[in-house]
């Protein structure tokens, strides 16, 4: 081994030794930061924590033998695990190759199989590509078969994988088993929190989150609470996440934290601040599909629709997640470009069908698509079944809206109220509740909820925010929203990531479909990229950064009439299944 590779390998070995002393967890030396963006992103929090433990190899007598050291790129992924941060995708791929080689030579190495499965899960989560999940499951089950007792790493990996697939019952089962094997390890708790929340068990989710905070204070919980809807989340601010991003040790981790800060700013009705955050994330990790989609979301709220469409197109070209296609379709529909909207809804349906075959539960997304842009009766049946499996606020909101669409407003009201019963405040859910109340003649309450929705986020949807504003005016309510408005010149494009050249605000240019041909670049090659200045506070001000120019007024007058619908083919309900890949690496 060369001297150039030796430091990383030695650090990885030390991580493994510490993991053995602490029951398999490699604790960071410098308080590294972690993040959880959504249910799937649970894997980003814990998957590589399994990796650090897996460097120690036990023989059949149970004795720990010398660690098998990975190559330099794989060792960097191990260093990221040791510090509790995100590895670059290229280093993660190197780790997968390294562990594949290991299990080919040593097929009875349960620890290597656990590392391989967890790393593959993280690849699927980070790339929003569930094609990695079947092989991840196969590797993790192989590990568990080889070492059925005390195999916390495989149990945790299976919990993370189930959470990423939105199979919250399975995630809870695996996470509980991992916790019972090693109650003092933090890694089982993020998927457990996600599982409890997905099952609508807020009390247990809060309890698990408190335990996680005790076992792993600092950056892990900071990122965790920004990705869930529990009341504890209100204590997390974009400024705190941005500060953590400024101290991140790797571009991938900086990008993840900046994305989270931007997402939190977006949810709090601050599209300018969100746009700056997403562009900062793209500087740290050019081509990141989630940041591109977030950029499109913020640009649409600021009325810069051609640039928003370009950002969404690039995001879907890099990774055609169903959510991105649905959002782009609704943006097109708000502009009365219904053919393009229908095309995006078809893209979303196609992607959902693909992911269904990979064991991913997309019933909530598909139900929303059916309710608003398809057959509401199908949506009611689909979401009714999903509610039985996963009675959480998001499902309650979607089911309530579907029931409203078929005219069952009494039942719709119960579910709409249930979606907000836990104290969460989502602008779209508030709009849904307000419209349902209006349909039932509960006008005072409807006026209050519509006003609250627009105050919380004046531009929560390019399609539905204008409808909320129009209904509020019908009720004689006052739109007292205080969100970011105004006009922003094209000069802000100089702050955007170098991954795409924004299209001019010209429909003909956008129609041509011209967009960047640049291939996705990995954050591992961006070590020299200067980090974006740190945004400060809720107002989104940044130290040393000039105030952003004013935005153009959002396009609202073109929102289509609510009765405009498309009628897609009915999709069969998703199978509850477990997809297993080949047993080999």
Q: What average pLDDT does the segment 101-126 reach?
A: 94
Cβ atoms 341, 332 nearer than 8 A: yes
Q: Would you state the pLDDT for residue 228?
A: 58
Domain presence at residue 515? no
> Is residue 174 within 8 Å of residue 191, measured between CB atoms?
yes
Give the percent of the chain with pLDDT over 70: 65
* Dist. CA 125–CA 133, nearest whole Å: 9
Burial of 468-492, coded b for 16+ CB within 10 Å and e otherwise, reads bbebbeebebeeebebbbeebeeeb
324 touches 316 (CB < 8 A): yes
For the chain, how many structural domains are there in total? 1
Mean pLDDT value of segment 148-156: 95
Question: Residue 481 pLDDT > 80, yes or no?
Answer: no
Whether 53 is in a domain gets the answer: no
pLDDT digits (tens, 9 = 90+) for 9-41: 444 444 444 433 333 333 333 222 223 334 344
What's the confidence (pLDDT) of residue 348? 97
Of 386, 385, 416, which Cα lies nearest the Cα of 400?
A: 416
Nearest in space to 418 (alpha carbons), one of 387, 401, 433, 396: 396
Q: Give the model's pLDDT for residue 479.
A: 76
Tell me, yes or no, whether 471 lies in a domain: no
Of 570 and 369, which is predicted with more confidence? 369
Question: Does position 551 have pLDDT exceeding 50, yes or no?
Answer: no
**pLDDT above 60: residue 541:** no
Say what the pLDDT of residue 256 is: 85
Element (DSSP H or E) covering residue 386? helix 376-389
Mean of all residue pLDDT scores within the chain: 75
Residue 460 has pLDDT above 80, yes or no: yes
The residue to which tokens 């509960």 are assigned: 442
- Band of residue 182 on the pLDDT scale cut at 50, 70, 90: very high
Q: How far is residue 405's CA from residue 377's CA, in Å, rounded to a whole number? A: 8
pLDDT band at 60 (very low <50, low <70, confident <90, very high): very low
398, 364 contact by CB (below 8 A): yes
CA distances from 159 to 166, 216, 323 (A): 10, 18, 23
pTM over cut 0.85:
no
Question: Mean per-residue pLDDT for 376-380?
Answer: 98
Residue 270 lies in a domain: yes
Question: Which pLDDT value is given to residue 213?
Answer: 83
Query: What pLDDT does residue 51 have?
Result: 44
Residue 47 lies in a domain: no
| Higher per-residue confidence, 584 vs 246 | 246
> What is the DSSP track for 85-143?
-PPPHHHHHHHHHHHHHHHHH-TT-HHHHHHHHHHHHHHHHHTT-GGGHHHHHHHHHHH
Domain-embedded: residue 82: no
pLDDT digit string (tens) for 389-413?
Answer: 999 999 999 999 999 999 999 999 9
- Return the structure tokens found at 421: 């019963």
The parent domain of residue 289 ranges over 239-319
Q: What is the pLDDT of residue 303?
A: 95
CATH number, domain of 303, equals: 1.25.40.10
Question: pLDDT digits over 64-82, tens only?
Answer: 333 444 578 887 776 666 5
In a domain, residue 60? The reply is: no
Contact 227, 204 (CB under 8 A): no
Q: Are 446 and 459 in contact (CB under 8 A)?
A: no
In angstroms, rounded to a whole number, what is the distance separating the alpha carbons of residues 252 and 255? 5
Within a domain: 535: no
Ramachandran class of 84: left when φ > 0, alpha when ψ lies in -120 to 50, beta otherwise:
left
- Residue 61 above 50 pLDDT? no
């Amino acid at each position: 081994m060369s001297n150039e590779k030796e430091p990383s390998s030695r650090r990885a070995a030390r991580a493994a030794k510490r993991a053995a002393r602490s029951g398999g967890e490699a604790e960071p030396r410098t308080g590294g930061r972690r993040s959880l963006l959504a249910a799937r992103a649970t894997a980003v929090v814990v998957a590589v924590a399994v990796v650090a433990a897996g460097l120690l190899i036990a023989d059949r007598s149970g004795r720990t033998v010398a660690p098998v050291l990975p190559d330099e790129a794989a060792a960097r992924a191990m260093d990221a695990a040791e510090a509790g941060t995100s590895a670059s995708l290229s280093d993660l791929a190197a780790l997968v190759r390294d562990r594949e080689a290991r299990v080919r030579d040593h097929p009875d190495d349960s620890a290597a199989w656990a590392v391989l499965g967890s790393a593959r899960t993280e690849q699927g989560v980070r790339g929003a590509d569930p094609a990695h999940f079947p092989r991840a499951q196969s590797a993790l089950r192989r590990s568990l078969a080889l070492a059925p007792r005390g195999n916390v790493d495989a149990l945790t990996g299976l919990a993370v994988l189930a959470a990423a697939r939105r199979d919250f019952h399975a995630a809870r089962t695996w996470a509980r088993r991992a916790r019972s094997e090693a109650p003092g390890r933090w890694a089982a708790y993020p998927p457990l929190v996600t599982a409890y929340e997905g099952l609508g068990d807020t009390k247990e989710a809060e309890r698990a989150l408190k335990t996680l905070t005790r076992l792993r204070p600092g950056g892990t919980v900071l990122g965790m609470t920004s990705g869930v809807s529990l009341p504890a989340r209100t204590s997390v601010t974009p400024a705190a996440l941005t500060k953590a991003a400024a101290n991140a040790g790797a571009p991938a981790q900086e990008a993840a934290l900046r994305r989270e800060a931007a997402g939190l700013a977006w949810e709090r009705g601050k599209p300018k601040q969100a746009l700056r955050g997403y562009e900062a994330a793209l500087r740290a990790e050019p081509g990141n599909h989630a940041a591109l989609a977030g950029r499109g979301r913020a640009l649409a709220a600021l009325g810069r629709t051609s640039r928003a469409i370009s950002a969404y197109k690039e995001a879907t070209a890099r990774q055609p997640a169903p959510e991105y296609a649905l959002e782009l379709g609704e943006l097109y529909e708000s502009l009365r470009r219904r053919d393009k909207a229908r095309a995006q809804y078809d893209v979303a349906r196609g992607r959902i069908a693909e992911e269904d075959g990979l064991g991913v539960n997309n019933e909530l997304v598909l139900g929303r698509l059916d309710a608003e842009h398809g057959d509401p009766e199908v949506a009611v049946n689909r979401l009714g079944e999903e509610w039985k499996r996963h009675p959480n606020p998001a499902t309650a909101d979607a089911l309530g809206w579907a029931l409203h669409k078929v005219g069952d407003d009494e039942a719709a009201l119960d579910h709409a109220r249930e979606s907000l019963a836990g104290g969460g405040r989502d602008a779209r859910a508030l709009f849904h509740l307000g419209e349902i109340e209006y349909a039932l003649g509960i006008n005072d309450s409807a006026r209050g909820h519509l006003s609250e929705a627009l105050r919380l986020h004046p531009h929560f949807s390019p399609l539905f925010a204008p409808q909320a504003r129009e209904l509020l005016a019908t009720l004689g309510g006052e739109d007292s929203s205080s969100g970011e408005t105004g006009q922003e010149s094209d000069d802000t494009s100089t702050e955007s990531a170098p991954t795409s050249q924004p299209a001019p605000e010209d429909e003909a240019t956008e129609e041509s479909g011209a967009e960047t041909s640049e291939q996705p670049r990995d954050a591992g090659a961006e070590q020299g990229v200067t980090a974006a200045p740190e945004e400060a506070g809720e107002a989104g001000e940044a130290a040393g950064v000039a105030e952003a120019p004013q935005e153009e007024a959002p396009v609202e007058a073109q929102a289509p009439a609510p009765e405009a619908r498309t009628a897609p083919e009915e999709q069969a309900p998703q199978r509850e299944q477990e997809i297993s890949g080949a047993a080999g690496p």
